[in-house]
A and B are shown apart, each in its own frame.
Chain A
Amino acid sequence: MKLRILFIGILLLIAALPGFAQGWTASLEWGYTGTIVSSHDYQYTTLEGYHIDNRDTDFRYHSNGYAGIQFGRDFKNGMNLSFCTGLYGIQYEIRSVPVGLRASWAFRRQADMAGWAGLVEAGIGLSDNDFRKNCEYARIGAMYRIPLGAGVRLRFLTALQGSHTHPVPYNPYDDVAVDADHLEYSNRIYAGLTVGIGLEF
């Protein structure tokens, strides 16, 4: 119940904030992320003491969704700096709550005309599962923004997304997941393409 009240409260804040604070922006954004390639590098010791070093790259496509909110401020020259959070899907059973910053800059300065904008976003992804550690992520892309009127803009976004995660490796020799005592390190990078749609207030 608390989560529901928080969620609806955030939506009301998004709608209300730009009306009260000139120059501040709030956005809702959601979309699809296709994870295309992943590369892992992990080292651990088996229960019998053998040292395992495993590195590989695989092209395994996986569909994910994402939903996010951004609170930001407009600066001169069409720049906007926003705080981002939400829920981003990375890979099967891997989700994260991003805490990041997004910088965007409009290529066309007139705010009341449709136009392209570039964006760079980076931050950490808090894991919603204690089993896994947090990750880092970054996006670079572009969005096309259409002013609808009454201070609302519609946004279409496309971006490349990279995530650096630390999954728990599976040890096939002992048929177990590697525990913290046997794991030296685990890194996995996912890369994919994101398309999204959003509303700016």
Chain B
Amino acid sequence: MEAGLQSSFKGVGATVILQGKQGATGELRLLADFADILMGHTARPGTRIQYLQHFPVHRFDLSNELTINIVWGPGVTLGLVRDKRKQGGYLAAVSGFAGAEFIFHRVPVTVSTSFSADLGAHMTIRNRYDNTMTYYEYGLRRAWYPEIGIRYRF
């Protein structure tokens, strides 16, 4: 198992790598969502939980100190977040990511860099009778934000 910190301009939070049976690997992220925070439109972060399946593409054993894994995978995201020009609301999306894992051997630490995108729906709830469900704009608009994960291998 690996656990650590996931950071990007999208948000910051905890990440856990779960090893399933038959070698399958999944990643669970619990993040404080930074939509509109960096621009100062709000001071209150959203919350999102994301599960991503990891599929290895290629493995480079560069030296006895470093191995690089290229990975990608699909996933799902649920959350209570803000969207572009909208208030906070519920998010349900399918997600995808691609990235590289830098596995250091001198200390049990993995550094990952990745890009991820969410394609989904955002439901703003104003009151009991006034709900608006729209396409989640930030899911693709923020896909180019690089993400960095720093995880300790237990």
Task: Kindly list chain B residues whose C-beta atoms are within 8 Å of the C-beta of A65.
Answer: 12, 34, 37-38
Report how far A148 CA is from B67 CA in the complex, Å.
Answer: 12
Q: Which bracket fits the contact residues of B?
A: 20 to 34
Report how far A65 CA is from B144 CA in the complex, Å.
Answer: 20
Q: Of residues 94 to 120 in B, which have CB atoms within 8 Å of A's CB atoms? A: 102, 104-107, 109, 111
Q: Mark A80-107, 1 if CB is under 8 A from B, else 0.
A: 0000000100001111000000000000
Q: Tell me the minimal C-beta distance from B46 to chain A in angstroms.
A: 14
Q: Tell me the minimal C-beta distance from A92 to chain B in angstroms.
A: 6
Q: Tell me the minimal C-beta distance from A28 to chain B in angstroms.
A: 7
Instruction: Tell me whether A152 and B5 are in contact in the complex, defined as CB-CB below 8 angstroms, given that A11-B146, A87-B38, A199-B111 are known contacts.
Output: no
Is residue A172 within 8 Å, beta carbon to beta carbon, of the partner chain?
no
Task: Kindly list chain A residues whose C-beta atoms are within 8 Å of the C-beta of B148.
Answer: 28, 199
Check A152–B104 contact: CB distance below 8 A.
yes
Is residue A2 within 8 Å, beta carbon to beta carbon, of the partner chain?
no
Check A152–B43 contact: CB distance below 8 A.
no
Task: Kindly list chain A residues whose C-beta atoms are within 8 Å of the C-beta of B7.
Answer: 30, 197
Check A150–B63 contact: CB distance below 8 A.
yes
Is residue B57 within 8 Å, beta carbon to beta carbon, of the partner chain?
no
Instruction: Tell me whether A92 and B106 are in contact in the complex, defined as CB-CB below 8 angstroms, given that A65-B34, A87-B38, A197-B5 are known contacts.
Output: no
Is residue A178 within 8 Å, beta carbon to beta carbon, of the partner chain?
no
Is residue B130 within 8 Å, beta carbon to beta carbon, of the partner chain?
no
Q: Tell me the minimal C-beta distance from B41 to chain A in angstroms.
A: 9
Report how far A92 CA is from B39 CA in the complex, Å.
Answer: 10
Is residue A118 within 8 Å, beta carbon to beta carbon, of the partner chain?
no
Instruction: Tell me whether A150 and B104 are in contact in the complex, defined as CB-CB below 8 angstroms, given that A65-B37, A92-B40 are known contacts.
Output: yes
Report how far A28 CA is from B109 CA in the complex, Å.
Answer: 17
Is residue A36 within 8 Å, beta carbon to beta carbon, of the partner chain?
no
Report how far A65 CA is from B36 CA in the complex, Å.
Answer: 13
Report how far A152 CA is from B111 CA in the complex, Å.
Answer: 10
Subset of 12 A-B contacts with CB under 8 Å: A67-B9, A92-B40, A94-B40, A95-B40, A147-B107, A149-B66, A149-B104, A150-B104, A152-B111, A197-B5, A197-B150, A199-B111
Task: Kindly list chain B residues whose C-beta atoms are within 8 Å of the C-beta of A77.
Answer: none
